[in-house]
Structure 1
Amino acid sequence: MNVLHNFRMAYVVLCHKNPEQINLLLESLTDEHVEFFLHVDRKSGIEAQILHREDIHFVKQPVDVQWGHYGQIECILKCFELIKEHGHFDYIHIISGQDLPLVSNRTIVDFFKENRGKEFVKHLQLPNEAEMWGCMYRVSVYYPRFLVSRAKAVSEIRNRYINLVMSVPMLKRSLKHLPDALYKGSNWMSVTGECMEYILEYIRSNPGYVRLFKNSFCGDEIFFHSIILNSSFKHKVVNEIKRYTDWETGPEFPRTLRAEDYERIRQKGTGCFWGRKFDLDVDREIVQDILQLA
């Protein structure tokens, strides 16, 4: 009983905008079992406007996170290192500053107590036939920084570059520092403290693995999964993450949820603990409605 009484969870919160919304998120998830570890994008300038309390910790040297770049991996690793400085946690939940809880803290804590030892990591094995080049282009191609951008013109050039490199074996990168089996999935996951510590030890022991991902494309969706699913933790992995995200409706992917999505969230989000993404600047009403659920 004493072990469960000391049950501790850490939230990794990756954020870059809307300090008011981040504070609402922190307040809604505050619990005696919980501490928060925030990476605030270096270029955002919002850290001073975010709540500062003993249970809220900030990465001291945050990175400038750019879509698709290694910074999306590095910011999580920095949070992991910060967590380790504050003792052992039973679970680490990676969320964004645009997440909100869909259930009470008691529901979340009780679930992870009851499922202690399981790793909640949504994944599939590569190559994935449903994707271009089986999705292997993300690591098999060396990407100069200028090619990793959401700009339409850059995307068109990047796709031509990918097709050229992937069509000529001698142009592809050596994957000798990667495990034989690669996995891909959402980096919003819930893992045990032991799994987090294994990831940190793995990257210390395998610098070539990290080096390859520094010039990958959206490698954050492969980096953590391929470490976990090539370890002894694989047998404890549950292929779900208890998160609600709308990848179907648009116009954004994932969709920024609005008031008209409330009933859909209630129906399709059954069994989910967190939802994303929400934006006070887009729809304040849905944020208020969702906070009442928890």
Structure 2
Amino acid sequence: MSKKHAYLIIAHNNFKQLIFLLASLDYVDNDIFLMIDKKTKLTSLELKNIEYAVAESQLFFAKRINIYWGHYSQIAAELLLFKLALNSGEYDYFHLISGVDLPLLNQKRIHSFFDNHPKKVFLSLADNRFHFDTVINRVKYYHISSRLTGRKPNVSMFNINFYFRAFDKIFVQIQKILKIDLISKFNLNVDYASNWLSVDNDTAQLIVENSYWIKKVFNYSVAADELFIPILLRKYKYDDKIYFKARINDDKDGFQGSLNYVNWWDGSPYTWRDGDQKKLEIVLKKGHFFARKFDLEKSPDLKNFLSKIINNEK
């Protein structure tokens, strides 16, 4: 019996590149589950082109919701995708990626690797020696919605987000005085990691089975998409399933356990461009199967390079 994989994709824009991604994942032992941010306008022609991007895989569309950076809606989108996949078939692995990620290998070779590494969790653990107090505060206190505080920390006082950020800081200080501590309340062992990851079936089941608990704990947190799964793994002592436990430090040449390489050192994150082909070859040789992020419309040479390696059957 063939071992199937489920690709869970959250996309916001750049539908031409999304079509390229879907075609890259189109494989008889893959099914693809797609969440397109409800805030994004999607024409009937774009939808039709997306549907026609795959031939061998089944393509499922998750219910669209509005997704905001740092907001619980990011977690909600992931949970919807996991639930849809688990209700649609049996899969050995679930790969959560964004619409601007791309594979660096053909699917046959990717499947071969995961066949040889069953029942593992692939994520990139963050080095908690740096800024961990800030990470703790994401979940320790109730926060004003990031829909109101915005994404950029240094907003102008002429921007409404500036005042909501100030109010959130005051709100947190009040909670400190009142000794509110959600970490103690929910008995959390805090850790954080990449939100893009690959998990086995048992872990996917664990995530969905704890949907109610996840919402109760993280509904008023900030950027908890990087927290809820590693915390859940610790809660149920699934740490041993993690494939690569070394933590990412300030070394862009290090290995990232999610198998999805992100260059945080040259951007936030860096967007790969024409001329980066040799750098991506090094990323691939280190053992990464995916990378982010890309903007192929601006990088035609890089698109041709990726097409060749993705379609290489060796």
CA distance in 2, matches of 1:111, 1:169: 51
Equivalent residue runs for 1:20-169 within 5 Å? 20-46=16-42, 48=47, 49-52=49-52, 55-59=58-62, 61-124=63-126, 128-131=128-131, 133-145=133-145, 146-150=148-152, 152-153=154-155, 154=161, 158=165, 161-162=168-169, 165=172, 168-169=176-177
CA distance in 1, matches of 2:110, 2:185: 37
CA distance in 1, matches of 2:126, 2:259: 16
TM-score (norm 2): 0.82
CA distance in 2, matches of 1:131, 1:139: 14
Task: Describe the SS at the equivalent of 2:227.
Answer: helix
Counterpart of 2:307 in structure 1: which amino acid? L
Counterpart of 1:269?
A: 284
Counterpart of 2:235?
A: 230
Q: Point out the more displaced range, 238-247 or 143-152.
A: 143-152
Structure 1 unaligned regions, length at least 5: none
CA distance in 1, matches of 2:69, 2:14: 18
Counterpart of 2:293 in structure 1: which amino acid? K
CA distance in 1, matches of 2:166, 2:223: 14
Q: Do 2:143 and 2:168's aligned partners in 1 also have CA atoms closer than 8 Å?
A: no
CA distance in 1, matches of 2:220, 2:303: 37
Counterpart of 1:291?
A: 307
Counterpart of 2:192?
A: 184
CA distance in 1, matches of 2:23, 2:135: 39
Structure 2 unaligned regions, length at least 5: 156-160, 245-256
TM-score (norm 1): 0.87
TM-superposition CA deviations, 1:84-143 (whole Å, max 9, x none): 111221000011111111111111000000101111122248xx3310625211112322
Q: Shift of residue 173 of structure 1? A: 4.1
> For 2:264, which of 247, 255, 277 is the aligned residue?
247
How much is the aligned-residue C-alpha RMSD, in angstroms? 2.4
Q: Do 1:140 and 1:166's aligned partners in 2 also have CA atoms closer than 8 Å?
A: no
Task: Describe the SS at the equivalent of 2:223.
Answer: coil
Q: Point out the more displaced range, 10-19 or 116-125.
A: 116-125
Q: Do 1:141 and 1:166's aligned partners in 2 also have CA atoms closer than 8 Å?
A: no
Task: Describe the SS at the equivalent of 2:3.
Answer: coil
Counterpart of 2:217?
A: 212
CA distance in 2, matches of 1:74, 1:213: 10
Counterpart of 1:214 in structure 2: which amino acid? N
Provide the aligned length of Structure 1 versus Structure 2.
Answer: 282
Q: Point out the more displaced range, 146-155 or 185-194.
A: 146-155
Counterpart of 2:272 in structure 1: which amino acid? L
Q: Shift of residue 65 of structure 1? A: 0.8
Task: Describe the SS at the equivalent of 1:136.
Answer: helix
How many percent identity over aligned positions? 26
Change in Cα spacing, 1:92 to 1:203, as seen in structure 2 (3 Å) is same
Q: Shift of residue 156 of structure 1? A: 9.1
**1:193 correspondence with 2:216:** no
CA distance in 1, matches of 2:274, 2:181: 46
